[in-house]
Every structure is written in C-alpha cells, then in structure tokens.
Amino acid sequence: MTSPAVPPLPPVPPPARSPRLAALRDPLIVLLAASVTMMSRLWEGDLHRDEVLYAAVAKGIVASGDWLNLTIGDAPYWRKPPLMFWLTAGLYEAFGVSVFTAKLCSAVFGVLSCLMLYVIARRLFTGRVALIAALVLATTPRFARTASTFRLDTAVTLFTLTAVYFYIRAVAEPRWRHFVGAGASWGLTVMAKGAFGIIGPYVVLIYLAVQRQLHVVRSRGFLVSVLVAAAVCLPWHLYELAHWGPDFFRTYLGQEVVDRMTGELWGGTIPATFGAYGVDFVKDAWPWIVFMAGGLVHALVRARRGDRNALFVACWALGYMLLLYVSQGRRARYLLQVYPALALLAALAIDRLLPGRWAPFVPRVAAGGFAAAAIVLVLVPIPLHSEAARPFRALRPVVRLVSPDPAVPLAGFRTSGLQTRASSIFYLDRDLHTRGIGELSRDPDAIVLTEVEHRRRLRRKGFRLIAVEGEYVLMRSPLAVR
C-alpha cells in the first residue's frame, strides 16, 4: 500500500510590522539624511562673514545680560530681530561659547525644515513623493551649507513651512488651533528675520487662490492668526522703538529692507536681468536641477488635468521667484526659500520616472546610503568646514598673555567692517575699536591689531611687533612699559 500524500505546510507569513513603526520609518530616514548633510562635525571649522557677526551678537547677550537690546561690542545692533540670537545665547549659557553651539540652532532648524516639508508633501501627495522631496532638500548643496553654519535663513524656512502647514490644515479643518499655530509660526518668522516673515502669508495666499478658498482670508480664524502673529512679534519691536527712537527703524527698516530691495545697501542698484540668479542656481542646486525643471513641466501638465496641489507647488516656486525679482538686491542666499518648493517639484518628476518595481526599495536604499555616509564621516577625517578664522584663533593665546585683562579693548589700525570686529569679539574676547595713528601713539596700553601690509608704517612710529598670523599682526605701543 502506498501512504497517503502529506499536504504541504502553509507558508509562514512574514512577521507583522507595527503600524506605528511603519509610520515612523520615513520620517526617521529624513532625520538621518538631513542630520548627515547638515550636522556632521559642526564643531570643526570657523565662522566668518555674517556668521561670526551673528555669533558675536549672541555672545554680547551673555556678556551683558541684556536680552532685549542686541549689541556688537559696545554699539547697538539694529539690523536683525533677536530670535536666533536669543536661542544661541541660551546654548552659550548652557554649554559654553564655541563654534559648535553657535552653529547648532541653524543646523537643527535645517533638519526640522526637511521634516516639515515631508509632512506638507505627504498631505498634498503620496508618502513616496514626500520622502523623495525631503531627501532632495536635505541634499541641495546651498541649503545644506547654509544650515551647517550660523545663519538666520533655516529658521525662516522652518517657520514658513510650519505656517503653510497649519494654514493648509485650517482650510481642510477650520479649527482654532490650526489658525493659532499658523499665526505663531508667522510671528516667529518675523522674529527670526524681519521682513522675510511675509513669505509664509504670501505662499498661503497662493495656496488659497489656487484652491479657490480666498474667502478664508475674511474668516475669524484668519483674523485670529494675524492677532497671534502680532502678539508674538510686536512687543519686542515696540520696545526697541520706545527705547531707541526712530534711529532703530531707520536702520531696521530703512537700511535693511528698503535699501536692500533697491540695491542701495551695496552702493548702487544692481541690474534686474532675467539671469541674475541663473549661475547661482545652477551652482547651488546642480544635483537636482534637471529634475526640478522636469517637475515644473510635469506639475503644469497635472494641473491641466485638475490637480490643484500640483498647480500650487508650481505657483509657489514661480511666485517666490517673481517676489525675488521685485527686489533690485541680488544675493544667492535669497534663493534658499525657494528650494522647498523646487524639492517638491523634483520629487514629482523622480516619482514619475521611477520604475514601479524600484519604488519599494527607495526607503531601504536611502537609509542604507545615509547610514554608510554617516559612518564614513565619523571615521574618515574629510574636511567639511572652512577655517577662514585661523589667524584669530592663533592670536587668542597671545592676546591673553600680553593683555590678561579682558576689559581692555584691542585697537584696530585701518581695520574696517563689522566682520573684523565680530571676529575679534568672538575669537579674542576683545572689542575692537579702530583708531588713527595719532591716538595710538599717545596710548601706552595700546595693543594694535592690523593687517600685515600696515606693519612697516607702525614700526616706523616705534610700535613693536608681537605676533604675525596670516594676514593679521599684533603690535605694542612704543610707550608701553618694557
């Protein structure tokens, strides 16, 4: 007799994945990717140009204990609102003054901007488009470079995206908390970089127009958002006006906004040519520029078929560029706020071109690639940050040895610009006051910081050379006690 056939065993089902873990996978990939590109070895390198100026202003808050009036040395600083300086000064208080603590807020806001773009994109499109868009933004060269130093722009990006998200939520679900969140985000954008606070409402108006929901502007909820924004940003501005008078607004609005938009801030208008941003755009977004252009075409095609979300993203990008061209002041960093919209367009193009059988591997490849990059950056000493302030770092111990009293300022001979003064404050712990040669010759305590090219002139007047570092020298007054 033959034994009866044994029925095959049923296949073992794969282990069930927790819905909560599945929902967290893509946001965690975004956080990993953005952290790798924006937070790698922040403690290395130097601060220079505007970054060191901002770091010195935050350091002044800690030194003076005055959290309302921003200063650079002993002079008032009226160019920017205080939010990022407050946050950085808080980090200085908690962890000490360093390049790392100066850069940290900007980097964290850059990472969170990618996460917020993911949240918005997921609401407008699919989870895969959202993941791709966030990864594109995290790997856009200009955005990653800006986030990894002390700039104000990533705070503007984060709070603008947050305001847009809450307003989108408010259109679908008109609840008070959404309008309150939108208004608070709007106010924080103003507190981060003044006039750039208009970007959030501007993008929202584009969204409402595209969705044919402009009636929301007349709602009580929208009025609440405006009042909340005013409650966040007006008190400090009114205090500054009361404390300093019209001079504050002449700098804060006249110079920083009006003169900047007319080009007069840089000594004259800049020609408003169509290609004014072209070279910078190619240089700053080169890995994704083809996909961004293709995504714009694809979004417009989808818009013709009735996809209003795709139309909104296209109008967001084009509308912001139109806003840029209203201003005569051309600076590559102003492009930063268009990159979230362009990242969404690039994601639409990539998602359209991606073969269906490859789509499930996108999260795995992204997670593995950025994890490998993180390991390489930890183990291999690849230079990531410039060391433009090396002379100031090298002069720090010399200054402390020659003049132990930190209350004694440095005298600058033919040194000009806030950046040089800020570098002295941040790296040398000394304010820098530019003086003429007659004043220096009569001051027995003068320790002079000047550029190498002026060394011979001071030596002819009897000044003694103390140290040479890079393009800077330290010299001592001829009247100093030997």
Q: How far apart are CA 363 and CA 367, in angstroms?
A: 6
Residue 27 lies in a domain: no
pLDDT band at 191 (very low <50, low <70, confident <90, very high): very high
pLDDT band at 262 (very low <50, low <70, confident <90, very high): low
Residue 373 lies in a domain: no
pLDDT band at 237 (very low <50, low <70, confident <90, very high): very high
Question: Helix axis angle, 199-210 relative to 308-326, nearest 10°?
Answer: 140
Residue 409 lies in a domain: yes
The sign of the dihedral angle between the CA atoms of 265, 252, 418, 103 is negative
Closest CA to 191 of 308, 101, 68: 68
Question: Are 350 and 403 members of one domain?
Answer: no
pLDDT tens digit string along 118-140?
999 999 999 999 999 999 999 99
Question: Are 216 and 278 members of one domain?
Answer: yes
Query: Do strands 71-72 and 464-469 pair parallel, antiparallel, or not at all (unpaired)?
Result: unpaired
pLDDT band at 1 (very low <50, low <70, confident <90, very high): very low
Mean pLDDT of the chain: 86
Residue 365 lies in a domain: no
pLDDT tens digit string along 289-316?
999 999 999 999 999 999 999 999 999 9
Question: Are 333 and 433 members of one domain?
Answer: no
Residues for the chain: how many in total?
Answer: 482
pLDDT of 108 reads: 96
pLDDT tens digit string along 204-221?
999 999 999 999 999 999
pLDDT band at 91 (very low <50, low <70, confident <90, very high): very high
pLDDT of 271 reads: 47
Residue 155 lies in a domain: yes
- Residue 32 corresponds to which tokens in the numbers above? 């990993």
pLDDT tens digit string along 43-53?
888 888 889 99
DSSP 126: -
Closest CA to 433 of 418, 444, 453: 418
**What DSSP line would sit under 33-65, residue for residue?**
HHHHHHSTTTTSS---THHHHHHHHHHHHHHH-
pLDDT of 291 reads: 94
**Domain extent for 427:** 390-476
In which element (H, E) is residue 432 found? strand 432-434
pLDDT of 341 reads: 95
* φ, ψ at 330 (rounded to 5°): -105, 115
The number of domains in the chain is: 2
Q: How far apart are CA 346 and CA 282, in angstroms?
A: 14
Question: Are 465 and 350 members of one domain?
Answer: no
pLDDT of 177 reads: 92
Residue 206 lies in a domain: yes
Q: Is the pLDDT of residue 426 over 80?
A: yes
Residue 469 pairs in a beta bridge with 472
Q: Is the pLDDT of residue 265 over 70?
A: no
Please state the rounded mean pLDDT for residues 381-410. 81
Q: Is the pLDDT of residue 239 over 80?
A: yes
Helix ranges restricted to H, 139-175: 141-147, 153-172
Question: Are 349 and 430 members of one domain?
Answer: no
Question: Are 346 and 470 members of one domain?
Answer: no
C-beta of residue 471 within 8 angstroms of C-beta of residue 414: no
